[in-house]
Structure 1
Amino acid sequence: MAQKILSAVILFTLVLYTQTTQKNITLKLDSLTSASFFDTAAISVDIFDLTANRKLYQKNNTMLMHPASNMKILTSAAGLLFLGQDFSFETSLYYDGFISDSTLFGNLFFVGGCDPDFTSADLQVLVSSVKNLGVDHVEGNIYGDVSMLDSLFWGNGWMWDDDPSTDFPYLTPLTINDNAVKVLVQPTENGSAPKVLLEPATNYLEIENLAMTNTAGRTSLEITRDFVNRKNNIIVKGDINRSDHDFKYEINIFNPEKYFLSLAKEELERNGIGFIGSINTLRLPGNAKHLFTIRRKFTDVIANLNKQSDNLSAEMTLRALAYKFYGKPATPMNGILLVDSLITIAGMVPDNYRIVDGSGVSHYNLVSTELLNAVLIYLYFQQPELYKTLSLSFPLAGVDGTLRRRMRGTLAENNVRAKTGTISGVSALSGYVTTKNDHQLSFSMMIQNHVRKTSRAIYFLDSICALLSELE
C-alpha cells in the first residue's frame, strides 16, 4: 500500500513539474512573441518536444507565410527521401565520328546533369579525357546537351531586379562555377583605370572598365552587367583608392550553358587541342561514344544547399526529382509533385499550401510553421538515418554556414542546427535544439512583413533558440 502511495506521489509531482515547466516556457515565449515589434510584423511559431513526444508551444502556426530559404527544408528532405542518399548528379563527355592521326573528325558533346557544384576543375578532368585519347585537334563542333530541363531559366515569381546577384542564378543542366564569374579589380596609378581580371579567365565575357584609381577618395565601385538587356558584358564603374586591397565581386551569368561551352573550348586550347568549329546546343546522338563522367553524390550537395543556403543546389535538386520520376524535360512543377508527396507522408495536406520553387526565392511560396515542423518531426521518428543527414547539413549556431555569427555566448551556440531563411520582409529559422535537460526539440519560426533591419527580426528568432536551449 505504501509503495502505491509513493508511486502516486511521484507521478503527481512529475505531472505538476511538467505543468509548471510548460507554463513557464509558455509565459516566456508569449512575452517574446508579443513584443511591440509584432504590432506591425507577424510571427508564427511551432515547437515540439521530440523526447517527450508532445507539443511544447504554438503561435499562429497554421498561418501561411513566405518561407524564404526554409523552403529548402522541404526540397532537401524530398531529395533524401525520393532520390536517396546514393543518388549522384552526372556531367558527361561524349564524342561522335572517328579519330585518325591525332585528329577527331567529329564533335564533342557535353551532357548536362544539373550538377550544381560543377567547377572549372571538373571541366579540366573532362577535357583531359580527350587529351588521353591522343587527340590534338578537333575537326568538328562542341555541343552542349541541355535537354534534361525545360527552357525556363528562372523560378516562378523571381524578381527581375534581383539580377545580377549570384543568389539568383540562371538555371541550366550545364552548370559551372555556380553559373557566375568573379570580378577582381586592382588599383593602378592615380588617375588611371584599375586592372580588371576575371576568375576564371575567359574571353567569353567583355569588360567595360569605366572605373578610376585615386589617392584621395574612398573606394566606391559598382560592378554589374547589362542585365536588363540580358547581356553578359561586365561593367565596372566608380573609384578605387590606390592604397586599398584588391576588390572582388561575383555576379551571375546569363545563358550559362554558352559560358560552360566557351570555357570548355578555352580549356581544350590550353591542353594543346586545336579547335576551329562552333559551339552550340544539341541533343546527344545515339551513336556517340562515352568518354568520361563526373559524378557528385547528393549527400555532398546537400551540405552546400543548406549550410550556405545555395539556391542553385536547391533548384537543381527539385529538377533532379522531376527527372527521376517523370523524365525529360524536367520541370519544377513535376519536382513539386514529389515535395507534395513528402507533405502527404508527413501527415499534412498539399492543397493547403502553395509551392512554386525549390529554393524559397519566390514570394509566391506560402507554407506554415506547422508544415515545416511536421516534416522535421516525421524525419526524426520515421526516417532516423535521413534525419541525421538532414540535421547535419543544417548550419550549426555560432560555428558554420549562415549561423556562424549567431547565438554566440548562449547555450544555443554549438547546439542549434537550423535552416535560415531571408528575403525582403521575411526572416525564418527551423531545425533542432537540445535543451539543458537533454530533451531534443524541433521547431519552426517565421517572421514576416517587417520593414526594420533584418537584425531586429533575427534577435527574436535567436532569443527563442537561446531560451529553448536553457530549458531544464
Structure 2
Amino acid sequence: MKNVEGYNFSFKKYLKSSFIKVILFSIFFLFNNNIFSQSETRNQKSASSNLSLEIETIVNDPFFDKTIIAIDIFDLTDSTSLYQKNNQLLLRPASNMKLLTSASALLNLGEHYTFKTDLYHTGVIEDTIMYGDLFIVGGFDPMLMTTDIDSMISIIKSLGIKKISGGVYADISKKDSIYWGRGWMWDDNPDPGAPYLSSLNVNGNAIEVFANTAEIDSPLIIKINPETKFVKVANNSITVDSDESEEILITRDWLNNKNIILISGSAGKDQSHEYSSKINLMYPERYFLELCKEKLAQSGITFYKPVDVKNLEQNSVYLTSIYHSIDTVLSFVNKDSDNLSAEMLIYAMAYKDSGAPAVADDGLAAVKRLIDSIGFNSNDYSIADGSGVSHYNLLNAELILATLKYMYYDHKSLFNLFYNSLAVAGVDGTLKNRMKNTSALNNVHAKTGTLNGVSNLSGYVTAKNGHLLAFSILIQNYVDQSSRARNFQNKICELLVEFE
C-alpha cells in the first residue's frame, strides 16, 4: 500500500512539474511570437514609411507647383494602404476609364462572350446562283479587318456561288445612329483615336495613307491601305529639290463631312523616309460594304444591285458568322488603348441589357452598377463614355484603385484575364517603350491614359518581397510636358518594384 501511495505521490509531483513547464513554455512562445509579430509590423511600417518618403521626394518636384498629381497605392497581399495623395480629387481619367469598362464587360458579358458578325441570305441557292439578297448583320465587333471579309467571301465561294441576283446589304439596326461619344471634341477629326461608331466596323474604321517622293515637279506617289474606291484622294503635293521642301500634310476633308483624303505640301526628292498617316473614316458600315463589293468582284462573284444599308428581312436564311472573343478585344482595349473596342464593349452591354437599338447610356449604366457594387456612389462621378476620350469623364485615384482591388479580391476567376489584358512595361502595348532599362521591365502591368494635359497610369506591380501591389497615378493640368509626367510615373513604379 505504501508503495502505491509513493507511486501516486511521485506521479502527481511529475504531473505538476510538467504542467508548470508547459505553462512557462507557452508564455515564452507567446511572448516571443508577439515580439516577432511586433517586429514584423514595425518593419512593415518602416518599409511603408520609407516608401512614402521616397514618393514625397518625387512629388515635391517644382513641376507639381502648377500641376496636379493624385496617387493611391495598396498592398494586395497584406491588405494594407501604402500611400495616398489627393486620391479623392476628381480628375479626368482619360484611357484609365477603360479599366472600369473592361471590368464591367467581364462581369456583364462574361469571359466566354464572343463578338459575332452574321451573314444571311434571302431566297434560295441553286446551282451557282444565290436568288436573293446577301445580308451582313453588325454585332459590334471592333476587330473586323479586311482579312475577315476575305474569309467571309471564301465561305460564300465554297458554296459554289458565282452570282448574287439581289443586293448586298448591311444591317446596322442593333445600334443607334449616334456616331461619337458624348463630349468628344470636334477637332479630334480625322484622328483614328476618334473613330466613327457603328455596329458594323472594319479596319478600326480608318485607312492608312502613304506618300513617297517622285520626280521633281511631280506629285508625291500616294498609296492607301486597304486599296479601295470608298475614298477619293486629292493630291496637291509636289516633289522639289531637298532645300525647298515643306511639311507634308495628310488629312481628310472632315470639315465638309467627306471621305476625301487631302495631301498637300512639298517634299525633297532626296528624302528617303516615307510619309504616312492613319485617318478615320465616316460611315464605317458603307466602308465595309464597299470593301465587300470589291472583294466579291475580285473573287469572280457578280451582283448588279448597289450595296446599301437595310434591315434584315424576315425568314432570311443563316449562312455563317465571323467571331472574335472578348479576351482578344480586351487586350486591344487595354494594351493598345483602342477607343473603338472600348466603345463597342459599352454597346455590347447595352444590347445585352436593353436590346436594339443599343444606346450608350444603357451600357454606361453597367459601369455605374460596377461602381455601386464596389461600395461607392456612382452619382459622385461623371461617366460619359467607355474609352475615356471625353473630357466630361470625372473619376479619382481612389475609385480606380478600388476597381483594381475589386477584380483581385472579389472576382478571382476573372482576374487573370483582366490582369493579362494590361500593357506590360517595356514589352508591349502603350508601355512598350517605357521602363525598358529598369527593374520595372516585364513587371508592371498597367493601363495608360493620355489626353492634352493629362497623363495617367494605373495597374499592378510585383514588389521585391513578392507582394502584389495595386496603384493609380493621375497627373494633369500641364502644358506640353507629357514626357516629364510619364517619367515621374516610371520612377514611382520603380520604387514599388523595389519595395520590401
SS at match of 2:423: coil
Equivalent-residue separation in structure 2 for 1:242 and 1:274 (angstroms): 43
Q: What corresponds to 1:458 in structure 2?
A: 486
Counterpart code for 1:231:
K
Note the C-alpha offset of 1:102. Answer: 2.7
Structure 1: runs of 5+ lacking an equivalent: none
User: What does 1:232-251 correspond to in 2, within 5 Å?
Assistant: 232-243=259-270, 244-251=272-279
Note the C-alpha offset of 1:101. Answer: 5.2
Q: What corresponds to 2:84 in structure 1?
A: 58
SS at match of 1:198: strand
The reply to whether residue 189 of structure 1 matches residue 215 of structure 2 is yes
Q: What corresponds to 1:404 in structure 2?
A: 432
TM-score by structure 1 length?
0.97
Note the C-alpha offset of 1:259. Answer: 0.8
SS at match of 1:220: coil
Counterpart code for 1:305:
V
- CA-based RMSD of the aligned residues comes to 1.4
Q: What corresponds to 2:405 in structure 1?
A: 377
SS at match of 1:237: strand
Q: What corresponds to 2:9 in structure 1?
A: none
Counterpart code for 1:415:
N
Identity %: 43
Equivalent-residue separation in structure 2 for 1:445 and 1:22 (angstroms): 17
Note the C-alpha offset of 1:349. Answer: 1.4
Equivalent-residue separation in structure 2 for 1:242 and 1:85 (angstroms): 53
Q: What corresponds to 2:137 in structure 1?
A: 111
Equivalent-residue separation in structure 1 for 2:127 and 2:29 (angstroms): 95
Tell which deviates more after alignment, 459-468 or 90-99: 90-99
Q: What corresponds to 1:332 in structure 2?
A: 360
Tell which deviates more after alignment, 219-228 or 166-175: 219-228
User: What does 1:291-302 correspond to in 2, within 5 Å?
Assistant: 291-302=319-330
**Of 251, 256, 272, which aligns to 1:224?**
251
User: What does 1:386-397 correspond to in 2, within 5 Å?
Assistant: 386-397=414-425
Equivalent-residue separation in structure 2 for 1:242 and 1:267 (angstroms): 35
The reply to whether residue 275 of structure 1 matches residue 303 of structure 2 is yes
Equivalent-residue separation in structure 2 for 1:434 and 1:24 (angstroms): 18
**Of 3, 8, 32, which aligns to 2:58?**
32
Note the C-alpha offset of 1:246. Answer: 3.1
Q: What corresponds to 2:178 in structure 1?
A: 152
Q: What corresponds to 1:204 in structure 2?
A: 230
Q: Residue by residue, what CA displacement relative to the aligned partner does 1:60-118 show, whole Å, maximum 9, x if unpaired?
A: 11111100000000011111111111100011111112334533332111110111010
User: What does 1:6-85 correspond to in 2, within 5 Å?
Assistant: 6-85=32-111
Counterpart code for 2:81:
K
SS at match of 2:120: strand
Equivalent-residue separation in structure 2 for 1:407 and 1:14 (angstroms): 31
Note the C-alpha offset of 1:365. Answer: 0.2
Q: What corresponds to 1:432 in structure 2?
A: 460
Counterpart code for 1:67:
P
Counterpart code for 1:234:
I
Equivalent-residue separation in structure 2 for 1:400 and 1:385 (angstroms): 24
Q: Residue by residue, what CA displacement relative to the aligned partner does 1:116-135 show, whole Å, maximum 9, x if unpaired?
A: 01001100111222222322
The reply to whether residue 258 of structure 1 matches residue 279 of structure 2 is no
Equivalent-residue separation in structure 1 for 2:495 and 2:176 (angstroms): 46
**Of 379, 382, 386, which aligns to 1:358?**
386
Equivalent-residue separation in structure 1 for 2:45 and 2:127 (angstroms): 84
The question of whether the paired residues in 1 share the 8 Å contact of 2:242 and 2:267 is answered with no
Counterpart code for 1:118:
L
Counterpart code for 1:392:
N
Tell which deviates more after alignment, 59-68 or 240-249: 240-249
Equivalent-residue separation in structure 1 for 2:377 and 2:413 (angstroms): 25
Note the C-alpha offset of 1:238. Answer: 1.3
SS at match of 1:293: strand
**Of 353, 371, 377, which aligns to 1:349?**
377
SS at match of 2:424: coil
Q: Residue by residue, what CA displacement relative to the aligned partner does 1:173-199 show, whole Å, maximum 9, x if unpaired?
A: 110011011112232212111221211
**Of 82, 85, 102, which aligns to 2:128?**
102
Equivalent-residue separation in structure 2 for 1:42 and 1:336 (angstroms): 27
Note the C-alpha offset of 1:386. Answer: 1.4
Q: What corresponds to 1:311 in structure 2?
A: 339
**Of 163, 166, 174, which aligns to 2:189?**
163
The question of whether the paired residues in 1 share the 8 Å contact of 2:350 and 2:358 is answered with yes
Q: Residue by residue, what CA displacement relative to the aligned partner does 1:203-262 show, whole Å, maximum 9, x if unpaired?
A: 111111111122424573111111011100111111233331333221010111111111
SS at match of 1:300: helix
Equivalent-residue separation in structure 2 for 1:176 and 1:279 (angstroms): 16
SS at match of 2:343: helix
Tell which deviates more after alignment, 351-360 or 409-418: 409-418
